[in-house]
Amino acid sequence: MRDQFQQFFERPDTFTLGVCNGCQMLANLQAIIPGSEHWPRFVRNLSEQFEARLSLVEVGDSPSVLLAGMQNARLPIVTSHGEGRAQFESSAQREAFFRSGLVPARYIDNYGSATELYPQNPNGSPDGVAGACSSDGRVTILMPHPERVHRTVQHSWHPEDWGHDGPWLRMFRNARVWVG
């Protein structure tokens, strides 16, 4: 299985999205995913409990093919996990990760700043880390759930100009564009 997964990740015509448990799984496969050498693992929330709420993230300036054109967007997103805290093996790994520009999203506070404060950051991840992506952008892992808020009706409130599509639908449209 390891060889098959490694061959998949090495193919230039594939992309991968891992959400929540998929994020954890792919973070644990980091050794066979090209361009992911500084990724953290995702472990138990600092609150020591399952967290389920609507959180706010800012999409980062990363090479993620799924988040293309969404940079700097501040968007509501569903959080639903008990083990979502990014944990780095060392401060050197943490510094390398942030220098790499592979942070596709961060939990932010109501001022738009990356936060470690609970409850805005539901798991206590350093600097608000909400996921990671590979250096070529073909693998994106996110702890929160964009697939749960891709339609406007899935939001308790939204601007009138959103129409039927929520802003996270763009991620899935980006996937379609990338496939061709």
Catalytic residue chosen out of the listed positions 83, 116, 147, 158? 147
Q: Which residue has the tokens 């510094």?
A: 95
- Rounded distance, CA 175 to CA 22, Å? 17
Maximum CA pair distance of the chain? 49
Catalytic residue chosen out of the listed positions 20, 23, 51, 58? 20
- Rounded distance, CA 123 to CA 116, Å? 8
Catalytic annotation present for 20: yes
Neighbouring residues of 149: CB distance < 8 A, sequence distance ≥ 6: 54, 76, 77, 78, 155, 166, 168
Answer yes or no: are the C-beta atoms of 65 and 138 closer than 8 Å: yes
Q: How many CA atoms lie within 13 A of 176 on its CB side?
A: 5
Catalytic residue chosen out of the listed positions 51, 58, 133, 145? 145
Catalytic annotation present for 145: yes
- Rounded distance, CA 6 to CA 31, Å? 9
Catalytic residues: 20, 145, 147
